[in-house]
Amino acid sequence: MSAVLIVLATALTGEPARLISAGVGLVALGGLYLLLALGWRDGMGWGDVKLAGALGLTLGWRVAALIVGGFSAFVIGGIVGAVLIATRKAGRKSGVPFGPFMIIGAWTGVFAGAAIADLYLSAVGLA
């Protein structure tokens, strides 16, 4: 469904480069999760890989949203995982569903991606 909406939005805005950007997002984020799923047997599930592809397609419309959204999922998941380990509610080998962190990361990318990217680039002297 999101692919249909991306194509429709591209047609309505007259920005064909956005369609290419969305495709790159699909391949980049979906490919990263595919590598994680193949590289670590109990790391990512196939549902995470499929969700990553859909989120990559959608977030790829705006590059800053894609980068910030994809990265923040791991940051937020890591913070929650550390808290769970520190409070002894989970161990290092405990399985924690990652999909919710992917969704929260995507929302972070949508609503704050440009601001966070600008802040980061300014902090490292690239903007």
Rounded Cα–Cα distance for residues 60 and 51 (Å) = 14
The 3 state secondary structure assigned to the chain is: CHHHHHHHHHHHHCCHHHHHHHHHHHHHHHHHHHHHHHHCCCCCCHHHHHHHHHHHHHHCCCHHHHHHHHHHHHHHHHHHHHHHHHCCCCCCCCCCCCHHHHHHHHHHHHHHHHHHHHHHHHHCCCC
Average pLDDT, integer, range 44-66: 93
pLDDT of residue 56: 96
pLDDT, mean over the chain:
91
pLDDT at 47: 94
pLDDT band at 71 (very low <50, low <70, confident <90, very high): very high
